[in-house]
Amino acid sequence: MKHAHYCALRAIRLTDIWRDDAPGERRAALVENGRIVEIHIQRDALWALGECGVGRIERKTPSGTYVATDDGRELLLRSKTKEPEGARVHFEVTREAISEPGRIKPLEIMLRDSAPPEPLISKDALWEARLASLGPSAINASIADGFDVAIAGQSQLGDVTISFQRTKAGLVFDIDGIGDAFAINMVAATEITRLLRLYQVGAMVLIDFVSMESKAQRTQIAEAFDAASVLDPRPFERTAINGYGMMQVVRARPRPSVLDQLFGTRIAALSDETQGYWLMRAVAESHGFGVRSVTARPEVATLLQSEGWAAWRAAAVRLAGADMVVVADEKAAGYGHVHVAQS
């Protein structure tokens, strides 16, 4: 396994931070020379990295100790603890819950020796700190176009097609193209590093390059991958490219990727939560007079009308300056739509 190399000298790049907040979902983008290079998402329904709280030790297992929060969430403590089952403990989130196809990996925590400071660090403060780590100031701008490739599941560069799909084992890339294998793979190596950074992908990544007989060429492609990764601050390790064109990459994963956020436990279809957040965003951004009629599939409609989403509904109504009603429709196209009575 080869560790990533980093260069101390970087080219001067003009950077901006774009923020695109809406009820329940905050988005931000790191933009270099007018191009989005990183997308960040924080959803208020979930515990965030660095957030502190209080819970009760529920049970101890070989994989770790499970802690239950007052809001019914189950958290995992990997390290050993002397605290007995039933004990109240103070914790800090060290890894957010991560949705994968067919399952959700539990949020991970560490215990604190004492109660966290009062008042607790809010999600607002954690988000502002995350933005500050990207750059000194942020401007309001939409980043919706940055999700197009994620939803399509592929990137097309000339005659080279880079397809990707989430699996339980990790994110799998497949490369196809017309012409010389080395040239195809060189394009793919650079584009994949861009996508990994753009969508903040962590954990296992498997890349299926077009096979090449020359070991020297395989080494060149792997080194091109390393060189293109220099600007990505996330640490990673990788294997060499084998004779079949396979290369494995392991990246740090403190949070869910953008793909995890969009699709949840589904492979490549928007989760109910994502559809709900996007409809709420559409209400908040809508213009015109009269009630906003939100049409959604029944599962999404139930979510939108749930007690847990009441605060975000109220925020969307306030921003729109009009009330909203939710209509369940099994035949709703896409993720649903918002109709304005008088635009």
**Could you tell me if 44 and 24 are in contact, meaning their C-beta atoms sit under 8 angstroms apart?**
yes
The architecture that CATH gives domain 270-342 is 3-Layer(aba) Sandwich (3.40)
Cβ-contact 18, 141 below 8 angstroms: yes
Spatial CA neighbour of 321 closest among 286, 295, 297: 286
Q: Can you name the CATH fold of 52-112? A: OB fold (Dihydrolipoamide Acetyltransferase, E2P) (2.40.50)
Mean pLDDT of 179-183: 97
Return the percent helix, strand and coil in the chain, to nearest 5.
25, 35, 40
**Mean pLDDT computed over 188-205:** 98
Please check whether residue 48 is in contact with residue 56, taking contact to mean a CB–CB distance below 8 angstroms.
Answer: no
Say what the pLDDT of residue 120 is: 72
> Residue 342: pLDDT above 70?
yes
Nearest alpha-carbon partner for 27 in 117, 127, 115, 125: 127
Express each pLDDT in 56-88 by its tens digit. Answer: 999 999 999 999 998 889 999 999 999 999 999
Tens of pLDDT, residues 246-255: 999 999 999 9
Percent of the chain scoring above 70 in pLDDT: 94
Residue 10 pLDDT more than 60? no
Confidence of residue 17 (pLDDT cuts 50, 70, 90): very high
CA distances from 56 to 65, 76, 98, 233 (A): 10, 12, 22, 36
The pLDDT, as a whole number, for residue 343 is: 64
Mean pLDDT of all residues belonging to the chain: 94
The model's pTM: 0.91
Task: Give me the residue spans of the domains in the chain.
Answer: 2-11+146-251, 52-112, 270-342
- Predicted confidence band of residue 121 (pLDDT cuts 50, 70, 90): confident
DSSP labels for 33-86? TTEEEEEEEEETTSPPTT-EEEEEEEEEETTEEEEEETTS-EEEE-S---PPTT
